[in-house]
Amino acid sequence: MTSRRRPATLRAHSSAPERWSVDAGGAEVAHLDIPAHATRQRTFEIDCRFVVMHRGAGPAWHAMRVLVDGAQEWSRRVPTHDGDHDSLDLRFRRTVPVGRPLRVTATGEAGGATRLALAISAEEDAG
């Protein structure tokens, strides 16, 4: 399955906070690319979410790894709970210098569970 990139439309005023997102659905990898800004430094609140569902037979697990500009930011592997849905969520802030792009990659893995959603969103701090 291919990623569906849905960047928010920037408002008419250049000082409006930027919002970027990608929803990879049940895919294993999601990439969010935020282009460089030529004149200002930006700080983003970044959310990564991986949702799975236990298949109901035996033990299950799910894991998410997050890379920022190719370097590992975070990684977890946990048992998947029986029931409706289970998830791993990560929220962090990143400051992006003038003229530098930002790439966030999330990878979701599952054993005994079905991948339902893998998404990344980034919202620029207004201040």
Q: What are the boundaries of each domain within the chain?
A: 18-124
Q: Residue 96 contacts by C-beta under 8 Å, 6 or more apart in sequence?
A: 34, 36, 37, 41, 42, 43, 44, 102
Q: What are 108-121's pLDDT values in tens digits?
A: 999 999 999 999 99
Report residue 24 as tokens. Answer: 């990879």
Closest by CA to 116, choosing from 28, 24, 52, 62, is 52
Please state which architecture CATH assigns to domain 18-124.
Sandwich (2.60)
Q: What are 39-55's pLDDT values in tens digits?
A: 999 999 999 999 999 99
Q: How far is CA 28 from the centre of its chain?
A: 12
User: Do residues 48 and 120 touch, judged by C-beta distance below 8 A?
Assistant: yes
Say what the pTM is. 0.87
